[in-house]
Each structure stands twice: as structure tokens, then as C-alpha cells.
Amino acid sequence: MRAFGATFGSKKDRAYPRRTSLGVALASLIAVAACMETAPRPDASRERPIAPPPGVAQNAPSEASQSLAGFYARVQRELLSQGLLRTDGGGPDTPFDADMALRNFERIAFYDEYARGGGLRAAANAPGALRRWEGPVRFAVEFGGTVLPSRQTSDRQMVAGFVQRLARLTGHPLGMAPAAGANFHVLMVGEDDRSQMLNRVKSLVPNIDRASLGLLQAMPRGIHCLVMAFAEGPSDHTYTRAIAVIRAEHPDLLRLSCVHEELAQGLGLANDSPAARPSIFNDDDEFALLTTQDELFLRILYDDRLAPGMTLSQARPIIYDIAATALGGPS
């Protein structure tokens, strides 16, 4: 999502122009906010989770929420029936070498899926600069008022486990934190929590742009989940805050798939590529979870030889060297 001139990437239905495997493709929305250095940092009094206080009764899901849950359950069943949403990370049928990894990483890390400030308008086919976090990334999971306590417990464990995996892969300081101390907020919300979610996003990013807020407000069912990453310092290539929004109506595998893709994209892998295989950064829905090639992308992204703001021409020989070494020598 683009706020302050941010950029989009999204997981969506195949009925949408880009992802198409059956009527669904999990979409992730990346917003890179440039010019955030002028944005006031929200004060601690506004850093409150979105769920209601303990003891507040939870209403039964609305008809709209139940309809979404049924739709996503059908989507998951149909994808699985086609042999899609693989969870094996790739295998002998999905080989890749250093050249392939280099090309795929370039498209995923240096190009944008959507134009900055353009909503879902496709970005120009031109590379930008490398983007990633430099400081520690502190994740917090927050829930809408309609999410049951049992689901909250399992979702927290799911996110915490994946954050540990990301920390091992990147070598970067990633961990869980209370909401008030977090800079990467994972909002698990149902359709009936929309107003809560919007208020929470506005409290975290007070000057979020209208295009991003509008997409959140009228989020179509074709967008399964999204992430917005913001740069608040002197460099618009260094992330300092991110917000992922994941629908509570998803069945287990689609929910886990959203966690994998949105958290990884929020670290700096903002685009998708139809050539990337095996990869979750591909609109064909073949893989539901992070693959062996995706793990390599994360290692490359956070290698000390690279830095935020590097151009593609500056980074290309380093990327190839990392990939070739990881895969056992030149291809």
C-alpha cells in the first residue's frame, strides 16, 4: 500500500488481473512510504491494540463475514484439488541455479508491483533501489474484537514461530514484542472489525495517504491480505515500520500462507515474478509457504555486503556471488 507515495503488492483472486490460478491468488500489498521523514511518530498513548478489553462480549459473525469465510474455504479446497498451495518448499521438479536466482531476486527486490500512490495501478517496468530494515524488527500480533481467544492463541504461536525462522534466515534481529514496543504490526481482523482496523492503522501512521486508507476501507474479497512498509528516517529505502493486515476469515492454510508472504514482503521482497519457481512470490499459487529459493532471497537481502539504497547495477555482482556460493559454485 502506498501512503505518502507508497508502493503496492497484493495477494488476490484470480478474477483479478494478475494472480490467476483458480479464482484466487493470495495477494500481498507492500507500501513503501517515501517522504516519511516529515511524519510525526505516534505517541505511546495511541499505541493500543485493536481488540476490545477482556470481558467484552464478542458478537456472532455477520452475514458478510460468514460469506467471506465460506468463499475462502472454497478457494482453498479448489486450489488444493488442483495440486496447488504446495507446502514442500520445492523439490526435484523445481530446480534453480545461481543465474535463475539472480534474475528472480532482481525482479522481486528491485521492482514494484504497483505504482507509488496509484492504488492498484501497475508500476512502471523499471528497477528501483534495494529496500530493507537496518534496525531491529519487533513484531506484535493484534486481533480484532471478533477473533476468538482460541484462534488468537494459535495465531500468535504461528507468527512467533515464523518470526524465529525469518531471524535465522536473515541473521537480522527479529523478535516478538508487546504492541506498544513493536514496529511491525500484524493485524488479524475479520470483516466486522474493519472500523477497528482503520482506527488502529491511522493511530500508527497518522498521515497515511488517502489511496492506502481507501483500499483498506473498501478491501475487496479478492485481496486476501496485505502489508504496508514505511520509511520514517532520512532514507526512503530503509524501513522503520510495517503493518500487515490478514483476514480472520481465512481457513488455516490460507492464513498461514498470508503470514509467510506478508511478513517476508514486509522485510523488503516487495514484488512478484511469474518466472520465480519455486517461490511464494509468484501469482500462480503453486506454493503456499516459503520455499528453498525464497529462503535464499532472504539471505541475499540481508547479507552485509548489500545496503539499502543500492542500485541494481551496484548490487548485481554481489547478489550473483552470494547465490553462486550458496548453490555450490557458478552455474
Give residue 14's pLDDT band: very low, low, confident or very high (50, 70, 90).
very low
| One-letter identity of residue 3 | A
pLDDT at residue 60, as a whole number: 84
Q: How far apart are CA 233 and CA 315, in angstroms?
A: 22
Asked if residue 12 has pLDDT above 80, the reply is no
Q: Which residues span the domain enclosing 187?
A: 11-38+65-326
Residues 273-312: tens digit of each pLDDT? 999 999 999 989 999 999 999 999 999 999 999 999 999 9
Name, in order, each residue with C-beta under 8 angstroms of 88's C-beta and a sequence gap of 6 or more.
none
Report, as an integer, the average pLDDT of 199-228. Answer: 92
CATH number of the domain encompassing residue 248: 3.40.390.10
Give residue 158's pLDDT band: very low, low, confident or very high (50, 70, 90).
very high
The count of domains in the chain is: 1
Closest CA to 309 of 229, 241, 240, 236: 236
Burial of residue 226 (number of CB atoms within 10 Å: 0-12, 13-18, 19+)? buried
Report CA torsion sign: 4, 9, 10, 16: positive
- Is residue 14 helix, strand or coil? coil
Asked if residue 192 has pLDDT above 80, the reply is yes
Q: Classify residue 271: in a domain, yes or no.
A: yes
Asked if residue 232 has pLDDT above 60, the reply is yes
Mean pLDDT of the residues in the chain: 84
Q: Classify residue 193: in a domain, yes or no.
A: yes
Give residue 35's pLDDT band: very low, low, confident or very high (50, 70, 90).
very low
Asked if residue 56 has pLDDT above 80, the reply is no
Report pTM: 0.86
Residues 243-269: tens digit of each pLDDT? 999 999 999 999 999 999 999 999 999
Q: Classify residue 228: in a domain, yes or no.
A: yes
Q: How far apart are CA 117 and CA 37, in angstroms?
A: 17
pLDDT at residue 3, as a whole number: 36
Q: How far apart are CA 295 and CA 190, in angstroms?
A: 30
Q: Classify residue 58: in a domain, yes or no.
A: no
Q: What is the DSSP secondary-structure string of 36-67?
A: GGGSPPPPGGG---SSPPTTPPPPPPPHHHHH
Q: Classify residue 237: in a domain, yes or no.
A: yes
Residues 125-145: tens digit of each pLDDT? 779 999 999 999 999 999 999
